[in-house]
Amino acid sequence: MEPGDLVIGGTSRTGFLSHGEELARFRIPLGLLDASAADLREVPHTCLSGRSGLASLVSQFLTALARTPGRQRLTGGRRLALNTADLVALLVGEVLQAHSTRSAPAGNEMLARIQRHIEDNLMDPDLSPESIARAHHISVRYLHKLFQAGGTTVGAWTRQRRLDACRAELRGRRRTVASVAHSWGFASPSHFSRLFRQTYGLSPSEWQATATTDS
């Protein structure tokens, strides 16, 4: 690594540094990264150059934050922590997207189109494997085969995107958990709450309270 470079990883690891450089570690809860544990396991300890692109912006911000005295960091409290997590989440999303593109089977443009279609119709309660297959003039069997090649299922991929959307909306708005869940296609609030906790480690209500309260 060189000064300004970044490493994204699920655990701490030594041995990155040389020439006496210092390393600043930032530990961010998984629930603030808009990514699942399974996603992050696909990109263990990814090293990024801090000299260009989004990584450069994140590097500059984190460097300045690391050099800020602790008492001054406390002034921003929870809001500063959440804004920091948002910035890092953007970078993590970019890394995951790049990894997904590289690891996708050659000629898998159909899957990419289908995923964009799902993203555009997440709020449609009638979104289903049947409707997705029909919109792309393919069989449901072939649709499942496309997603299985990527190590997931249509239902799991759609559910995760809906959970991510709910999580983002609960952070920024004062809506009830039930109304947010319903607007993103979850018919049962209790089922939504169980899925949310399983994915992010806390209930929707706990996440909403944490994300919208300043200390």
From the list 62, 47, 35, 39, the residue with the least C-alpha distance to 8 is 47
End-to-end alpha-carbon separation of the chain, Å?
36
Domain residue ranges of the chain, discontinuous segments joined by +: 6-103, 109-212
Q: Which tens digit of pLDDT belongs to each residue from 42-65? A: 666 788 888 888 888 889 989 888
Helix, coil or strand: residue 8: strand
Q: Which tens digit of pLDDT belongs to each residue from 89-146? A: 888 878 877 766 565 554 477 888 899 899 999 999 889 999 999 999 888 998 998 8
**Fold of the 109-212 domain:** Arc Repressor Mutant, subunit A (1.10.10)
User: 78 falls in which pLDDT band (50, 70, 90)?
Assistant: confident
Whether residue 32 has pLDDT greater than 90: no
From the list 199, 203, 211, the residue with the least C-alpha distance to 163 is 199
Which pLDDT value is given to residue 106? 42
- Residue 77 Cα distances to 67, 153, 184, 209, angstroms: 16, 40, 31, 15
Which pLDDT value is given to residue 75? 62
Distance CA 125, CA 20 (A): 56
